[in-house]
Amino acid sequence: MKTLLTSIKSLFVIYVVLLIQSNCALSVSSTHSGSQKALTFMTGLDALLDDDCEPLKGKRVGLITNQTGVSSGIIQNIELFIESENVDLRAIFSPEHGLFGSISAGKKIIDRNESKYGVPIFSLYGDTRKPSKDMLKDLDILVFDIQDIGIRSYTYISTMGLAMDAAADKGIEFMVLDRPNPMGLNKIEGNVLDPRLSSFIGMYPIPYVYGLTAGELATMINDQDWLGGSKCNLTIVKMRNYGREISYNDLGSIWIPTSPHVPSFETPMYMVATGILGELGMFSIGVGYTTPFMTMAAPWINSDLMAERMNMLGLEGVVFRPVNYRPYYSFYKEDEVGGVQIHIIDQDKVDLIAIQFYFLQEHNILYPNKNPFEEATIGHLKMFDKALGTDKIREKFGKRYKVSDIKQDLRIGLNNYGLIKTKYHLYD
């Protein structure tokens, strides 16, 4: 009997020890899980969903979005809104490239009164770019949820600004579901736009690379009276666990191509380096091939000579490789072009916007009889100036094709912008 009692006591002790260990393990696991949850990155959409879309409860919602408006689970925001008991989705609005990102740049898109979602789809890149009063008549709030890329000439921020203006006119709310800037929040480059050249590819007096999220920029647009004297009732649903030192690559997010020629979160860097050059209509910048915005090439260019000259410049953070290819479409379709492919090796050090001007400088030395500012059409020159945000740089640069002549011009307004910009930072 005594032996039996001893055995029972021993088993009880073992049980207690195991129970304590189990509880400790559970406690550690719970703490760890809570810590992990606290550190989980959330877009504005994810944050809204985490709150059961409570801010939209009882409101008739219009959603401005495209294929990039997905949750962390890669579920389209439209589907999630339709499923939510707190969201009354009444209309969908799509930007340039359409609701699914399948339309080429510059192509107009028509409205669709019938859709699989049971609500009308209005194009903001068709006959109208600012939502009309008729489009907004049954709405209490406009929600903007589109992945931006941090470049002034990319038209989604113009769509956002015009929609904010329309919301202000109608007296309805405007909400931005914030998303990260793939260019980062510490990099600003390029001259501040001259208001004389304000257009849909450059609407506000900001640099070409402006170092803000869409939510931060919306706050700036509203506060700086860039809506024509009116202000909208603006709400930003902030991201969670995002900061100015965090790169897109660190987030672990899946990149949804924002348009047909932006297949990677790294593409915007290359767009800054070549996008303005591409407006001249004389050079292939990889659009139409497998390397969008990563090349600078033309049929008459000797790739080896051009790569040698570009590398001899010793530009920080970038190297150039000779390349020859045949574009599948766009400029020089099926013709062989030669030039350089850009390889960015240090994003922090590279002066992106200057690369295309260095290319024009070296091109002028090698091919002085191929003057792009003389051979480009008036229409292409106007687009070049609009994208650059000024006509003064082209006029000055075109006299000698020396980057040293325009180095300071490419930074006009940056210091003042940098001071103003900090007022609108939403993330540490």
Question: Which pLDDT score is estimated for 112?
Answer: 67
Element (H, E) at 22: helix 2-39
Domain region containing 221 = 44-257+419-424
- Nearest CA to 316 among 349, 278, 282, 289? 349
Q: What is the distance between the alpha carbons of residues 321 and 323, in angstroms, rounded to a whole number?
A: 6
Q: What amino acid occupies position 48?
A: L
Nearest CA to 43 among 267, 264, 236, 219?
Answer: 236
Burial level of 60, CB count in 10 A (0-12/13-18/19+)? middle
Look up the CATH number of the domain holding residue 251: 3.40.50.12170
**Looking at the domain assignment, is residue 23 inside a domain?**
no
pLDDT tens figures, 180-222: 999 999 999 999 999 999 999 999 999 999 999 999 999 999 9
- Which CATH number fits the domain that encloses residue 299? 3.90.1150.140
Number of domains in the chain: 2
Q: Do 194 and 100 lie in a common domain?
A: yes
Are residues 162 and 289 both part of a single domain?
A: no
| DSSP-assigned letters across all residues of 375-399 | HS-HHHHHHHHHHHT-SHHHHHHHH
Could you tell me if 221 and 306 lie in one domain? no
Predicted pLDDT of residue 34? 38
In this prediction, residue 228 carries a pLDDT of 83
Residue 34 lies in a domain: no
Residues 160, 291 within the same domain: no
113 and 222 together in one domain:
yes
Same domain, 125 and 68: yes
Of 352, 325, 95, the closest CA to residue 201 belongs to 95
- Looking up tokens 């295309």 gives 356
- Mean per-residue pLDDT, 370-392: 97
* Confidence (pLDDT) at 4: 39
Q: Are 302 and 195 found together in one domain?
A: no
Going from the C-alpha of 318 to that of each of 179, 226, 349, 355, the distances in angstroms are 28, 36, 9, 9
pLDDT tens string 218-267: 999 999 999 988 899 999 999 999 999 999 999 989 999 999 999 999 99
Report if residue 262 sits inside a domain.
no
Does residue 207 lie in a domain region?
yes
Q: Is residue 8 assigned to a domain?
A: no
> If residue 318 lies in a helix (H) or strand (E), which one and from where to where?
strand 318-325
The answer on 110 and 55 residing in a single domain is: yes
CA 350, CA 354: separation in Å to the nearest integer? 9
Closest to 152 in 3D by CA, of 211, 233, 219: 211
Q: How confident is the model at residue 9 (pLDDT cuts 50, 70, 90)?
A: very low
Distance CA 338, CA 280 (A): 17
In a domain, 112, yes or no: yes
In a domain, 85, yes or no: yes
The average pLDDT across 43-69 equals 98
Strands of 208-309 (E only): list them: 233-237, 295-298
Percent of the chain whose pLDDT exceeds 70: 89
Same domain for 314 and 189, yes or no, is: no
Q: Which helix (H) or strand (E) holds 340?
A: strand 337-344
Q: What are 113-172's pLDDT values in tens digits? A: 656 889 999 999 988 999 999 999 999 999 999 999 999 999 999 999 999 999 999 999
142 φ, ψ (degrees, to nearest 5): -105, 130
- Over the chain, what is the mean pLDDT? 90
Q: Does the model's pTM come out above 0.85?
A: yes
Smallest Cα–Cα separation from 220: which of 206, 230, 199? 206
Rg from Cα positions in the chain: 26
Digit-coded pLDDT (tens) for 293-309: 999 999 999 999 999 99
234 and 102: one domain?
yes
Whether residues 311 and 355 share a domain: the answer is yes
Q: Is the Cβ–Cβ distance between 146 and 68 less than 8 Å?
A: yes
Per-residue pLDDT at 313 exceeds 70 = yes
Q: What is the pLDDT of residue 102?
A: 74
What six digits make up the tokens of 238? 């902030």
Report the distance separating Cα 149 and Cα 182, nearest Å: 6
Question: Which band of pLDDT confidence, cut at 50, 70 and 90, is reported for residue 13?
Answer: very low
Q: Quick check: is 202 in a domain?
A: yes
Same domain, 79 and 125: yes
In this structure, is the dihedral angle defined by the CA atoms of residues 132, 203, 183 and 103, taken in order, positive or negative?
Answer: positive
Angle at 200 between CA 79 and CA 151, to 5 degrees: 75
